[in-house]
Amino acid sequence: MSRIMGIDYGSKRIGIAVSDPLGFTAQPLEVIARTSLVKDVERIRVIVRERDVVRIVLGLPLNMDGTPGMLTDNVNSFADTLREKIGIPVELYDERMTTMQVDRMLTEEADVSRERRKQVRDKLAASLILQSYLDSHS
């Protein structure tokens, strides 16, 4: 069975999550430390191949009022690159509030240290983006 990948794209890190084979749940997978576009895309391509991913859901950073955020152009460009280099559908999905939700989960509910939060925040945000997408398409 095929999976869907969720991506939280940031200026320093890329959070990756994947769905279960039936597309019901999202699981955080890893954080890619950004190095170069070529290396970042290649790592995503490897995960796509290993996990039998058929679609990518990329978080779209919008302002609270729905207007494009500061990174929106970068995310759109990254989506175009993924479509071209990996060759599977890439959908943009509203990611408003995901980082705030993750920070709240990690500080208030789990009492995770600041250093540990940096290590898991992006893949948890990717998981929230993907789970929201899966829930809206079930």
Domain boundaries, the chain: 3-136
Q: Residue 28 has what pLDDT?
A: 95
Q: Does domain 3-136 have CATH number 3.30.420.140?
A: yes
Q: Residue 70 has what pLDDT?
A: 85
Task: List, for the chain, all residue ranges whose pLDDT scores fall below the cut of 50.
Answer: none
Q: Residue 97 has what pLDDT?
A: 67
Q: Residue 108 has what pLDDT?
A: 60
Determine the Cα–Cα distance for residues 43 and 113; give it in Å rounded to an integer: 28
- Dihedral (C-alpha) 116, 120, 122, 126: value to the nearest 10 degrees? -160
Q: Against a cut of 0.85, is the pTM above it?
A: yes
